[in-house]
């Protein structure tokens, strides 16, 4: 595989981090308050990063199992079917998080973290123990697997602080 192709395949998962971040940044510029800005970021992250990113992985593992097996550096196994449905569960959680309370978003982030951070440990193990440098095992997937739940949790914790603070009168009137 040539270097450009490897780089493109390795970096592709970052789409699920970069696109929601850009969308949220653009949309949040017009927010009337910090609370509204935070809510915009949470929704973009929940739907774009967590929901759509996980749904994409579901489709990829179900529709293109041979391509995904090559991308992660493994032979095709029945385990890939399980990964697809674990990602479907994450997608549903992500879409639910779009209208969830801060407490629910924290729980969703933790639930996603258990799966994705476990996957990071597996990727790193395969990288060092078996020299698996396949584009779907190292690079962008590591960043994405760490950031998706971490950002969800961080945003939800910040939102929780807003929930416990009294709302300014000007914000209530708007």
3-state helix, strand, coil in the chain (%, to 5): 80, 0, 20
What are the residue ranges spanned by the domains of the chain?
Answer: 3-173
Alpha-carbon distance 8 to 2, whole Å?
Answer: 10
Predicted model pTM? 0.88
DSSP, collapsed to helix, strand or coil, labels residue 135 as: coil
| pLDDT digits 0-9 by tens, 93-144 | 999 999 999 999 999 999 999 999 999 999 999 999 999 999 999 989 999 9
Give the model's pLDDT for residue 171.
Answer: 57
Write the pLDDT tens digit of every residue in 63-72.
Answer: 999 999 999 9
Q: What pLDDT is attached to residue 43? A: 98
């Amino acid at each position: 595989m040539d270097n450009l192709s490897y780089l493109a395949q390795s970096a592709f998962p970052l789409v699920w981090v970069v696109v929601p971040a850009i969308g949220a940044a653009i949309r949040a510029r017009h927010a009337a308050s910090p609370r509204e800005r935070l809510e915009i970021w949470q929704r973009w992250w929940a739907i774009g990063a967590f929901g759509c990113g996980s749904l994409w992985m579901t489709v990829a593992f179900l529709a293109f199992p041979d391509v995904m097996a090559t991308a992660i550096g493994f032979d095709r196994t029945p385990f890939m079917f399980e990964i697809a449905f674990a990602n479907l569960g994450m997608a549903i959680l992500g879409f639910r998080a779009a209208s969830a309370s801060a407490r629910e978003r924290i729980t969703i982030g933790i639930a996603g973290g258990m799966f994705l951070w476990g996957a990071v440990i597996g990727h790193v193990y395969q990288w060092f123990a078996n020299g698996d440098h396949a584009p779907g095992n190292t690079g962008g997937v590591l960043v994405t697997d760490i950031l998706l739940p971490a950002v969800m949790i961080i945003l939800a914790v910040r939102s929780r602080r807003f929930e416990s603070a009294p709302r300014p009168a000007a914000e209530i009137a708007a």
